[in-house]
Amino acid sequence: GIQVEQSPPDLILQEGANSTLRCNFSDSVNNLQWFHQNPWGQLINLFYIPSGTKQNGRLSATTVATERYSLLYISSSQTTDSGVYFCAAWRDAGNMLTFGGGTRLMVKP
Amino acid sequence: GEEVAQTPKHLVRGEGQKAKLYCAPIKGHSYVFWYQQVLKNEFKFLISFQNENVFDETGMPKERFSAKCLPNSPCSLEIQATKLEDSAVYFCASRQGARYTFGSGTRLTVV
């Protein structure tokens, strides 16, 4: 099956700092999505990014499919960015997502 | 609407009781998935549907868990004779095209 690994597992930042979260995945993955699970437990879509780079405000993501990794960048972090960031991958239409173990981010004021 | 609606938000059951969770996927989404999140970080796949047909049920503990997605009704996940280890947040997701959209989850507590 698909393997998805995330690093680091935990991250503590001071408000205003930048960070990079990493997601490595096994081969034969052709779909990848980043989620933010906020402290209330809601899973929020951030990016669908099977390849290339996307940006949305202070967040951006890059996936290099040939090297089997994806990066999520958070710039000028805010306390509201706290929570757990998951990447999840799948192969083909209808197939289940395989989640990484998540990166737990705490942004301190 | 453009959200996956899960009910109830919280459910408390005594050990051995039945629990039933509901999910209304986004209209027009043909795939529905159920996941169980335990220990805050770990997601376990349970079952998926393509329209009303089971697509993949490899994650389901079939002796106590069952699920349905019938036309014109919310999808449901039912746990017979709940056990303490069933305590978790159960997420439903639907998908059409490339993106998965998750509901807010149902927190099941078995006491």
The pLDDT tens digits of the residues spanning B45-104 come to: 999 999 999 999 999 998 999 999 998 899 999 999 999 999 999 999 999 887 889 999
Q: State mean pLDDT over A75-83.
A: 97
Instruction: State the best of B3, B9, B29, B41 to mutate against chain A, taking most chain A CBs within 10 Å.
Output: B41
Q: State mean pLDDT over A14-34.
A: 92
For residue B96, the model assigns a pLDDT of: 81
Total domain count, chain A: 1
- For residues A74 and B61, the model is more confident at A74
Q: What is the CATH number of the domain that holds A86?
A: 2.60.40.10
A25 has pLDDT over 80: yes
* Nearest-angstrom CA–CA distance, A32 and B99: 9
Identify each DSSP E strand in chain B by its residue range. 5-7, 10-13, 19-24, 31-38, 42-50, 53-56, 65-68, 75-79, 88-96, 99-102, 106-110
For residue A94, the model assigns a pLDDT of: 62
For residue A93, the model assigns a pLDDT of: 63
CB-based contact B100 A102, cutoff 8 Å: no
Residues of chain B neighbouring A97 (CB-CB closer than 8 A): 33, 35, 43, 45, 93, 100
Q: What is the CATH number of the domain that holds B65?
A: 2.60.40.10
Q: State mean pLDDT over B24-49.
A: 91
Domain that holds residue B90: 5-110
For residue B110, the model assigns a pLDDT of: 97
Total domain count, chain B: 1
CB-based contact B98 A102, cutoff 8 Å: no
Triad A41, B55, B30: Cα angle to 5°: 70
Closest CA to A34 of A96, A108, A91, A103: A103
* Nearest-angstrom CA–CA distance, A72 and A51: 13
For residue A95, the model assigns a pLDDT of: 80
Domain that holds residue A42: 4-108
